[in-house]
Amino acid sequence: MEVTLIAITRLEGEVVDDKLGYGWISSVPEGGYPKDTEALIEYAGRLCYQSWEKKNPATQKNADYIAHIISQGHLSVLEHSSASLYVEGVSRSLLAELTRHRHLSFSVISQRYCSPENVPVIPPAIQEDLELTSALLTRYQEMKGWYDSLVFDLTKKGLPRKQAREAARSVLPNMTPVELVVTGNFRAWREVIARRIDPSADAEIQQFAQMALTALSETSPSVFADML
């Protein structure tokens, strides 16, 4: 499994920096300048109360301000920042679980246009068992061979390749690998990660949640550091 950050909210112009003071500050603030995603969250929050003067010492720093927002449960301002992840080497089982989070947006490789990969995604509980892994690999190759045979037979009968794949995919198992791009705002990502990183969650999606958290916390630590 690979999870790669491919897009994230970026500020345009100087309005946010000027309002928050980051554009004209004479020295770099402790901890460095906030990321664009973090500055936007603070800007949206301070706009509600016109608290540009930052009179409360406890929330003058961007990281402290965001931590306060999260602790109070006022998460709507987190929705202004978003990130997109490119996900490879996950199963259709994981995809089915993840798409239950309807506040995320998905683009997934099409089984009507693209043939499945030759190597399946082995469930985490089986990966250390060589005998079971070998058995799953064999079974997947059998199903993949059946799929290829169906595509061949259906196209030979005159069906367009897209319609042939459409029918043949019915025999593919849940361990068939998929690729996808998934986008969510930061409130959505926090909710998804919190639910799916839990030990009671599906083992594969736990791995995904941990990798997503790592990617997001590196680029917006003030928003996700408390979840590490």
- Active centre residues (catalytic): 196
Structure tokens at 64: 């402290």
Biggest CA-to-CA distance, the chain: 75
Bridge partner residues of 181 (DSSP) = 86, 107
- Contact between 22 and 39 (Cβ < 8 Å): yes
Structure tokens at 113: 């246009």
Structure tokens at 37: 């995603």
Compute the C-alpha angle 35/60/81, nearest 5°. 30
In which order are the strands placed within the sheet that holds 105-108?
Answer: 2-8, 82-91, 177-185, 105-108
- Contact between 175 and 140 (Cβ < 8 Å): yes
